[in-house]
Amino acid sequence: MSTPERPVSSNFIRTIITEDLESGKRDQVVTRFPPEPNGYLHIGHAKSFSLNFGLAEDFGGCCHLRFDDTNPLKENDEFVEAIKADVRWLGFDWGEHLHFASDYFDQFYLWAVQLIKAGKAYVDSQTAEQMRENRGTLTKPGVDSPYRDRSREENLELLEKMKNGDFPDGAHILRAKIDMSSPNMNLRDPAMYRILHAHHHRCGDQWCIYPMYDFAHGQGDSIEGVTYSICTLEFEDHRPLYDWFIQELGIFAPQQIEFARLNLSYTVMSKRKLLQLVNDKHVSGWDDPRMPTLVGMRRRGYPPEAIRTFCERIGVGRGASWIDLSVLEECVREQLNQTAFRRQAVLDPIKVTIANYPADKVEELDAPNHPQQPDMGIRKLPFSHELYIERNDFMEDPPKKFFRLAPGREVRLRNGYIIKCEEVIKDENGEVVELKCSADLDTLGKNPVGRKVKGIIHWVSAEQAKEVEVRLYDRLFNQENPDKGENYLEALNPESMQTTTALIEPELLAAEPGTTFQFERVGYFTVDSEDSQRGKPVFNRTVTLRDTWAKLK
C-alpha cells in the first residue's frame, strides 16, 4: 500500500464521495474550481480549490479549472493569468482541463432556444424597475410579467434579435418560466440572458447577449461531466434552479454539495472590498504583503506548503467557520522553522566594544544555517572588536528573570563567544550609547568551566554589517471582524506597516528576492520581490517568532 503524500483528514464531502463510489452511484470523481476572473484569489479561494483538487487527487479523479467568465464588464486576461499562477503556486495541476464558460456560449444559446421551444423560457420586456417590483419579497409572492405568455415564435424571434444586436442594453431579458410565487426567490422566473454590448476578453465583440451566471454555471459543470460540484453555502438556494435547468434540458446531472466558506479574523475577503483597498491606495496593490490574496501572501513570504497545511487543518463543514488569523500564522511558522536559513540581524542597535579583542583582527566564525539540520550547511560570520546587539538585550537594572546582558553579567553571543559587560557608556542625556565588554576567548563552541551562562543573544560585526530597509508588517485590520462595524475602513490598522532599517550580516546582501530567512530571535523575513535591487535587498517581515521571551527565561 502506498502512503498518501499528505495527511488526509476526513470531512463530510469525502464521506459522501466514498459512499457513492462504494454503492456504485458514481464511478469517478470529477471536480472543478470555478473562479470568476474579476480579481485575484484570496485565502478563501485557496480553501475551495485545495478541497477540489485535493479530493480529485485522493480519489484518482481530476479537477478542472474553469473560468466562469460571463460578465465581460469586470473580467480580463490579467486576472485569468494571475489565477492560473496562484493555483499552480499551491502545487495543483488541472492538466488538460483548462476551461472557460465562454467556450460554451454557443451551446448555452442553443439550450436557451430549446427551452423557449419547450415553453420554458420567455423574453420579458418590462423595465428593470417593474421587474424588481413584480418579483415580490420573501413574504409576498411575485406577479407574472405581462409578457410571460408570449408565443414561442415571438420569443424565438426576439431572442434572435437580441443576439443580433437589434436592441440596446436592458431592452429585453430572457427568463426561465418557472414559478413567480415560489418561496425560493431564485425560482421566480430568473434571468437567463441579458443584453450587454460589451467587449469580452476572449470572445471579443462576437456576443452582445451574455448568459447569467446561474444559467451558465450548472450547464458548464454538466458539459464537463463534473460529478461533484462543490460550492459555498450561499449557493444552496440556487441548487433547485440548477437542477431545474439540467432536468428540463435532459443533460448530465452533477451533484452539488455546499460547504461553509472560510472567514478569517482581522481580514476582509470580499473582492469588492479588496478592490477598494487597492483603488483607494490603502495598500500598494493586490500583492501588498498585508493583503489576504495569494499574491500578497507569496510576496510576504508565506510558503505554499503552509497554506495547504492551513486549508487541510481548518477542515470542511457546513457550520459557519471563523478561523483566527493566528492559525494561519502558526502554519507559516511551522513550515519556515523547518526550511528557513538562519541569519543574524539587529533592528535596534546598541554598540558593543570588546576591549580584549585586537582592533585590527577580523575572525570568520562558522555558523550553521540551521541548528537542527546540518545538511543545510554553514556560513562564515565575521567577528571583530566592535559589534552591534539589540538594544533590548541589555538592561542596566534587570529584573530577576532577565538572563541577557547587564552590568557585570555574562551572555553568549550566538555562534560566538561569551562576553561580559564591564562598563556602560552614556551620552549627556543619560542614554546608553555603548557597552564596553570583555570576551572569554576560550568559549567558542564550548561552555565555560565552573559557571553557567544562560542567555544567548544575536549580534552583527559593526564594520562588516550592512544596513537595509526592513518592513514590519502586522495585521491589516485591528478589529477581529472588520465587517461588523459601520465601515470596515475604520478598522484599518494604522500600524500595519512600519518601515525601519536593520543591520544584517554581509552574506545576506546577495539574497535572492523571494527567499525567506529566520533572523534569529527576531522573526522570519523574506526578500521583497518588487522593491529589492541587486545588492540592495528590502526585507518583509513574514511572521514574528512566537515565544521570543520564553526561550530566554
Catalytic residue list: 36, 261, 271
Q: Which of helix, strand or coil describes residue 509?
A: helix
| 44 binding ligand ATP? (CB under 6 A) | yes
Instruction: Name the residue nearer to ligand ATP (CB basis): 268 or 538.
Output: 268
| Contact range with ligand ATP by CB under 6 A, out of 34-42, 124-132, 152-160, 167-175 | 34-42
Q: Residue from 17, 30, 40, 45 that binds ligand ATP (CB under 6 A)?
A: 45
120 binds ligand ATP per the rule CB under 6 A:
no
SS (HEC) of 231-248: EEHHHHHHHHHHHHHHHH
The C-alpha atoms of residue 59 and residue 77 are separated, in whole angstroms, by 32
Among 26, 35, 283, 529, binds ligand ATP (CB under 6 A): 35
By CB under 6 A, is residue 262 in contact with ligand ATP? yes
> Rounded to the nearest whole angstrom, what is the least distance from the CB of residue 339 to ligand ATP in the complex?
27
Q: How many residues does the chain have?
A: 553
Q: Which stretch binds ligand ATP (CB under 6 A): 96-104, 263-271, 304-312, 472-480?
A: 263-271
Provide the residue type at 256 as one letter.
Q
Cell 485569468 maps to which residue? 80
By CB under 6 A, is residue 270 in contact with ligand ATP?
yes
Q: Decide: is 34 part of the binding site for ligand ATP (CB under 6 A).
A: yes
Give one DSSP letter per residue of 78-100, joined into a string: HHHHHHHHHHHHTT---TT-EEE
The answer to whether 179 and 187 have CB atoms below 8 angstroms apart is yes
Q: Is residue 269 a contact point for ligand ATP (CB under 6 A)?
A: yes
Interface mask toward ligand ATP for 228-257; x: CB under 6 A: ---xx-------------------------
Nearer to ligand ATP, 52 or 415 (CB): 52
**Is position 31 an interface residue for ligand ATP (rule: CB under 6 A)?**
no
**What DSSP string runs through 499-540?**
EEEEEE-GGGGGPPTT-EEEETTTEEEEE-TTT-BTTB-EEE
Nearest to 350 by CA among 384, 394, 399: 394
Helix (H) or strand (E) holding 217: helix 213-223
Window contacting ligand ATP (CB under 6 A); options: 69-77, 268-276, 305-313, 329-337: 268-276
The one segment of 29-37, 182-190, 355-363, 471-479 that binds ligand ATP by CB under 6 A: 29-37
- Residue of closest CB approach to ligand ATP: 44
- Total number of residues that touch ligand ATP (CB under 6 A): 15
The yes or no reply on residue 142 touching ligand ATP (CB under 6 A) is no
Residue 191 φ/ψ, nearest 5 degrees: -70, 140
Q: Is residue 457 within 8 Å of residue 404, measured between CB atoms?
A: yes
Cα(301)–Cα(296) distance, integer angstroms: 9
Closer residue to ligand ATP in complex, CB, 1/320:
320
Q: Nearest approach, Cβ of 72 to ligand ATP (angstroms)?
A: 15
220 binds ligand ATP (CB under 6 A): no
List strands edge to edge, sheet with 497-504. Answer: 341-343, 516-519, 523-527, 538-544, 466-473, 497-504, 345-346
Assess 32 for contact with ligand ATP (CB under 6 A): no
What does the alpha-carbon distance between residue 135 and residue 297 come to, in Å, rounded to a whole number?
43
Alpha carbons 414 and 186: distance in angstroms, whole number: 65
DSSP code of residue 187 = G
Which residues of the chain form contacts with ligand ATP (CB under 6 A)? 34-36, 44-45, 47-48, 231-232, 261-262, 269-272
